[in-house]
Amino acid sequence: MGDHFEKGQHALLNEGEENEMEIFGYQTHSCRKTLCLAGSIFSFGILPLVFYWKPAWHVWANCVPCSLQEADIVLLRTTDEFQTYSRKKVMWIYLSALNSAFGLTPDQPLITDEECLINRAIRKPELKVRYIKVQKIRYVWNNLEGQFQKIGSLEDWLSSAKIHLKFGSGLTREEQEIRRLICGPNTIDVEITPIWKLLIKEQSVKLYRLVESHNSITVPVCGRKAGVEELESRFLVPGDLLILTGNRVQMPCDAILLDGSCVVNEGMLTGESIPVTKTPLPQMDGSVPWKTQSEADYKRHILFCGTEVIQAKGACSRTVRAVVLQTGFNTAKGDLVRSILYPKPMNFKLYRDAIRFLLCLVVTATIGMIYTLCVYVLSGEAPGEVVRKALDVITIAVPPALPAALTTGIIYAQKRLKKRGIFCISPQRINVCGQLNLVCFDKTGTLTREGLDVWGVMPCDKNGFQEVHSFASGRALPWGPLCAAMASCHSLILLDETIQGDPLDLKMFEATNWEMAISGDNFHIKEVPAHAMVVKPSKTASQVPVEGIAILHQFPFSSALQRMTVIVQEMGGDRLAFMKGAPEKVASFCQPETVPASFVSELQIYTTQGFRVIALAYKKLEMDHHTTALARDKVEADLIFLGLLILENRLKEETKPVLEELISARIRTVMITVLHIDNYINIREEVSENTREGSYHFALSGKSFQVISQHFSSLLPKILMNGTIFARMSPGQKSSLVEEFQKLDYFVGMCGDGANDCGALKMAHVGISLSEHEASVASPFTSKTPNIACVPQLIKEGRAAFVTSFCMFKYMALYSMIQYVGVLLLYWETNSLSNYQFLFQDLAITTLIGATMNLNGAYPKLVPFRPVGRLISPPLLLSVIFNILLSLAMQTVGFILVQRQPWYNMGMYSACTVQNKSISNLTMPPTAPGKVESNDGFPSFENTTIWFLGTINCIIVALIFSKGKPFRQPTYKNYIFVLVLIVQLAVCLFILFADIPDLYRRLDLLCTPVLWRVCIVIMLSCNFIVSLIVEEAIIENRALWMIIKRYFGYQSKSQYRIWHRALANDPTWPPLNQMSPSDLPECDKEVSYSNPVFESNEEQL
């Protein structure tokens, strides 16, 4: 398709987003459609199947280009490297049905806001809307702007003030019906695929169950005139006003919290069942879009679909209200489901090479067809027989069992993984595991233990840091602002008499020996609500001059802000504000004179030892301000630094040996987290790594990564080549980092516990989730055992499955070529193999070999190199071509020699019918040399020789190609396979040397002299010895191929290899032991380090 389009025919859909697509307008042409219909009939349904796989051909064959405004068919093309096409029909929504109910008039806006997309999408006076549906999302035609736009959510340009004003009272019944008709139902439907479609599509029942419960929820909705009424969730529309009452409410849509506060379990999205506090969207003046009005993360105001509202609290006795933001597949849960239904295509060379391999077989079959036609036509055979023989060649040269044979290896690998507690929802990715050469790890919960332990606290005063208070001693923390901060600066909640919340908050609170309670109705303190959260000292706590502390207001923690703040009221004391968060961030809000001079050095001491460090600060507030009226920036200004809370997060027992195993196997390990950069440096130091002298590590923060990506993109590959530690990384930055590594041609694995890792897990070639929450559905692999021991096991099984795939490719190629050569030789004599002979080779030999060759388990040790990554590689091609030529030579020699035997010219018939007779007595009239009278004409000495040579050769090839070490268990440990080969060989030799007339007659064979049978065995033995020597001494000789590569100056074309060579020759890189003035240690600056780095010497064939 060219790049010249008619005016208005081409546009971009979802411009700038991850799922950006080009859209082209087309109009159905009646003549073309008629011709295609006729072609479908005359091709017996083949043409529709081609159009199904090639939607662009379907459109180009049936339609003519036109503008998008006039189009009834649109062609979509992704803008990524895959350029995937899809065809969509333009459909109409008719609003005329609402005319009688509401009396709609075309002259007036149907929705109050004229700028609303719905108003612009309605064509007047017909009152109808054009739309397309792409990957479950509706796009309506904007008549004013002349483009398709996504519908099903509130507009992004709305300000917070407009949202409160327009939707704070709910929608009218008329607006609800219009939005319901245009936006579609609020459902996340996963269709159960019909049986016939399963032939060409995959289906996940697990995914169906995941979304099944979403569509059957009833929620209270407030209408502008109708008041509050119960409504099924599928009828919700963007703009509806939800009333949240009680606890344990499942969110059926994405909604913006307008009033009150909510505690939500977002485990479905993050994989971590930690309560998250949601705050209402503030009413701020101005026309700035609501998402950018606040410096904090706007997501703190959103209740996401699929999450559970654990607790809903109204402010000042008001109800908790939320306005529906997005419905259906536009929601967070819908987006997760769509990412599973429509995954990013995988650019894996094995599958591309497999197509080329099949094309080569098709070309070979075509040559055989031409040869067959020439031979049989010149022989004067009947046309029907000529066509039948020619078609036989296709099924022989292109083995139909190839896909099934390849699939069995993956199935066996999947079963072995399942036994080890590793579950897979995308089996094709198992092969990809075998090519991994870089694995990214999340830290908390993945490399380290899930829980945190409070190690100690370091208070500070005017003189600097004081002595560390260790909690291991059992001494209670003395009363003071630091103790009060630890007791109250958190987001913990009391649910069913149990304290729940973030593990860090929980450990910090438990260290104070305080208790938590909810104030009763008789609780009367100025500006403190009746049901406020109150913390009180227990009997074992230190002496405290206050009865307790009431938590009045929270500014929740967000990863973007790296801090949280609370406003509290001491009972009988002061009103205070406490802050906790990242040390550098908290220190930046404090009065400089209160931050100790040794802040950076002390922080470095503990973070480099692997401790997690949190800073605390506070200030006194005036009593004459209402807590909800205080702006966050004012509350958080001019704080007094209190000290550092030191928490211990030890490595899991499995972490160190697994990392050492991967490093010894020359697999790069990269660590990513939201924690401080020094925590990772400690982990790297804990893992012994034998690196070369002069090598180095790079450690980056998320902020640095973002700046380099945006402004110094040419520098990014240099850093990534030796980047090992990426700290303070947001979920989006994790995904970007994985993608950047993929651009360097790394095969990237990502292992995380599901918390903030979902995007990276989906982006990586292989995502491994250590969480069993619903978010793990987005990851191809999920480990039941929550440690990284699954990673090397997965790589081992991947390598074994990958090698098995290559073995099966080679075997199936040789099996088809052995049959192909034998049949073409027999065609020269206008003969062929009989049905029973074909059946014996296909079922008794090849099918059993295909089912058992794949049973080899993975080799227990990871070697420091990967399997050959391509089918079209010199060793593999040489192996296949050499064995084809060897088989061709053997069968040709057998075919020629049998015709030169003295008993062949005598016209000898089957020796099985006569016993103890001499050759001279076993002759027939010379009128039919080499053949026996038969109705079908199959039995002949050539046929018998070729069949035995071909059948036993298939067994030999299976043994030669069944690889063991270094990626699979040795062949002799595959007991079933070895037993099958022994039985098959024994049966074939029995048939060869047994004189059983009935058996020979059923197999259409002729008995030959024993000497000739011995000659057949000798030819097969020579074939086996030569093939084995070449395979072991040349094909599998890795050292020899390294010498050949160096001799011819071959260099890998992978981007990371190219960069590695370039940096090795760059004397100015890396800029070691250099520090710019901007890097000087300050409170908000990070310290730079240099360490030895991993360097791979792996050679890719």
**Which CA distances in Å does 633 have to 258, 295, 438, 561, 626?**
21, 10, 42, 12, 15
pLDDT at 138 over 90: yes
Question: Which pLDDT score, from 0 to 100, does residue 748 have?
Answer: 93
Question: Which pLDDT score, from 0 to 100, does residue 245 have?
Answer: 82
Q: Determine the Cα–Cα distance for residues 326 and 254; give it in Å rounded to an integer.
A: 5
pLDDT at 680 over 60: no
Backbone angles phi and psi of 75, in degrees to 5: -110, 125
**Whole-number mean pLDDT of the chain?**
82
Question: Which pLDDT score, from 0 to 100, does residue 106 have?
Answer: 61
Q: Determine the Cα–Cα distance for residues 850 and 839; give it in Å rounded to an integer.
A: 15
**Which CA distances in Å does 540 have to 426, 512, 536?**
54, 9, 11
Lowest mean pLDDT among 517-531, 540-554, 719-733: 517-531
Q: Tell me the CB-side half-sphere exposure of residue 89, using CA atoms within 13 A.
A: 4
Q: Determine the Cα–Cα distance for residues 63 and 72; give it in Å rounded to an integer.
A: 9
Q: Determine the Cα–Cα distance for residues 816 and 159; give it in Å rounded to an integer.
A: 68
**Which CA distances in Å does 76 have to 22, 23, 141?**
6, 5, 15
Give per-residue pLDDT as tens, 1040-1082: 988 988 888 888 888 999 999 898 888 888 876 655 444 434 4
Give per-residue pLDDT as tens, 614-668: 999 999 988 766 666 678 888 999 999 999 999 887 778 888 889 899 999 999 9
Q: Are 1035 and 881 in contact (CB under 8 A)?
A: no
Q: How far is CA 323 from the centre of its chain?
A: 33
Q: Are 678 and 607 in contact (CB under 8 A)?
A: yes
Q: Are 671 and 1072 in contact (CB under 8 A)?
A: no
Q: Determine the Cα–Cα distance for residues 98 and 749; give it in Å rounded to an integer.
A: 53
Q: How far is CA 500 from the centre of its chain?
A: 32
pLDDT at 526 over 80: no
Cβ-proximal residues to 493 (8 Å cutoff; 6+ apart), any chain: 263, 275, 310, 311, 499, 500, 501, 533
**Which CA distances in Å does 911 have to 88, 340, 929?**
70, 66, 15
Backbone angles phi and psi of 73, in degrees to 5: -135, 140
Give me the mean pLDDT over the 504-518 stretch: 87
- Other beta carbons within 10 angstroms of residue 1098's beta carbon come to 15
Q: Are 596 and 641 in contact (CB under 8 A)?
A: yes
Q: At what angle do helices 655-664 and 790-827 cross, to 10 degrees?
A: 40
Cβ-proximal residues to 348 (8 Å cutoff; 6+ apart), any chain: 431, 432
**Which CA distances in Å does 628 have to 316, 625, 635, 689?**
11, 9, 11, 54
**What are the tokens at 982?**
């022994």
pLDDT at 284 over 90: no
pLDDT at 524 over 60: no
Angle at 513 between CA 507 and CA 514, to 5 degrees: 100
pLDDT at 210 over 80: no
Which of 204-208, 325-329, 682-686, 730-734 has the highest mean predicted lDDT (pLDDT)?
325-329
* Proportion of the chain above pLDDT 70, given as a percent: 82
Cβ-proximal residues to 838 (8 Å cutoff; 6+ apart), any chain: 819
Residue 909: Cβ-neighbour burial (10 angstroms; 0-12, 13-18, 19+): buried
Specify the higher pLDDT residue, 1098 or 225. Answer: 225
Question: Which pLDDT score, from 0 to 100, does residue 67 have?
Answer: 92
Smallest CA-to-CA distance from 344 within 82, 23, 137, 150 is with 82
In this prediction, residue 296 has a pLDDT band, given cuts at 50, 70 and 90, of low
| SS3 of 254-301 | EEEEEECEEEEECHHHHCCCCEEEECCCCCCCCCCCHHHHCCCCHHHH
Q: Determine the Cα–Cα distance for residues 356 and 352; give it in Å rounded to an integer.
A: 7
Give me the mean pLDDT over the 195-211 stretch: 51
pLDDT at 192 over 80: no
Question: Which pLDDT score, from 0 to 100, does residue 253 have?
Answer: 92
Give per-residue pLDDT as tens, 211-254: 666 667 888 999 888 888 888 888 999 999 999 887 778 889 99
Q: Catalytic annotation on 442?
A: yes
Specify the higher pLDDT residue, 1007 or 105. Answer: 1007
Give per-residue pLDDT as tens, 913-949: 433 343 334 333 333 444 444 334 568 899 999 999 9
pTM of the model: 0.74
Region label for 937, one of left (φ > 0), alpha (ψ between -120 and 50) or beta (otherwise): left
**Which CA distances in Å does 59 have to 46, 52, 74, 96, 1101?**
17, 11, 8, 31, 42
Q: Are 775 and 769 in contact (CB under 8 A)?
A: yes
Backbone angles phi and psi of 680, in degrees to 5: -75, -40
Q: Which residues pair with 946 in a beta bridge?
A: none
- Based on DSSP, count helices (H) and strands (E) in the chain, helices before strands: 37, 39
pLDDT at 1038 over 50: yes
Backbone angles phi and psi of 65, in degrees to 5: -65, 150
Helix, strand and coil in the chain, % to nearest 5: 45, 20, 40
Specify the higher pLDDT residue, 225 or 602. Answer: 602
Q: Are 457 and 644 in contact (CB under 8 A)?
A: yes
Sign of torsion, CA 535 539 540 546?
positive
Strand-strand pairing, 781-783 and 533-537: unpaired
Give per-residue pLDDT as tens, 324-368: 999 999 998 888 788 777 776 666 666 677 777 788 888 888 899
pLDDT at 1092 over 50: no
Smallest CA-to-CA distance from 178 within 132, 131, 109, 115 is with 109
Cβ-proximal residues to 474 (8 Å cutoff; 6+ apart), any chain: none
Give me the mean pLDDT over the 271-300 stretch: 78
Within the chain, what is the greatest distance between any pair of CA atoms? 127
Backbone angles phi and psi of 985, in degrees to 5: -65, -40
Smallest CA-to-CA distance from 127 within 173, 76, 172, 177 is with 177
Residue 337: Cβ-neighbour burial (10 angstroms; 0-12, 13-18, 19+): buried
Question: Which pLDDT score, from 0 to 100, does residue 573 have?
Answer: 80
Q: Are 874 and 428 in contact (CB under 8 A)?
A: no
Which residue in the list 259, 335, 392, 442 is annotated as catalytic?
442
Lowest mean pLDDT among 335-349, 624-638, 672-686, 809-823: 672-686
In this prediction, residue 1093 has a pLDDT band, given cuts at 50, 70 and 90, of very low
Q: Determine the Cα–Cα distance for residues 261 and 246; give it in Å rounded to an integer.
A: 12
Give me the mean pLDDT over the 730-751 stretch: 87
Residue 923: Cβ-neighbour burial (10 angstroms; 0-12, 13-18, 19+): middle
Question: Which pLDDT score, from 0 to 100, does residue 318 have?
Answer: 75
Cβ-proximal residues to 763 (8 Å cutoff; 6+ apart), any chain: 344, 735, 738, 739, 742, 750
In this prediction, residue 443 has a pLDDT band, given cuts at 50, 70 and 90, of low
Cβ-proximal residues to 85 (8 Å cutoff; 6+ apart), any chain: 54, 55, 56, 75, 76, 77
pLDDT at 1095 over 60: no
Question: Which pLDDT score, from 0 to 100, does residue 649 have?
Answer: 74
The amino acid that residue 787 corresponds to is N
* Proportion of the chain above pLDDT 90, given as a percent: 29
Q: Determine the Cα–Cα distance for residues 655 and 650; give it in Å rounded to an integer.
A: 10
Residue 945: Cβ-neighbour burial (10 angstroms; 0-12, 13-18, 19+): buried
Give me the mean pLDDT over the 966-977 stretch: 92
In this prediction, residue 521 has a pLDDT band, given cuts at 50, 70 and 90, of low
In this prediction, residue 5 has a pLDDT band, given cuts at 50, 70 and 90, of low
**What are the tokens at 665?**
């196997």
β strands within 847-921, DSSP E: none
Specify the higher pLDDT residue, 852 or 193. Answer: 852
In this prediction, residue 107 has a pLDDT band, given cuts at 50, 70 and 90, of low
Q: Determine the Cα–Cα distance for residues 975 and 855; give it in Å rounded to an integer.
A: 9
Q: Determine the Cα–Cα distance for residues 799 and 801; give it in Å rounded to an integer.
A: 5
Give per-residue pLDDT as tens, 297-334: 788 889 998 888 888 887 766 789 999 999 999 998 88
- Other beta carbons within 10 angstroms of residue 499's beta carbon come to 15
Q: Are 446 and 752 in contact (CB under 8 A)?
A: yes
pLDDT at 527 over 60: no
Sign of torsion, CA 17 22 25 26?
negative
Smallest CA-to-CA distance from 1099 within 1063, 1069, 1054 is with 1054
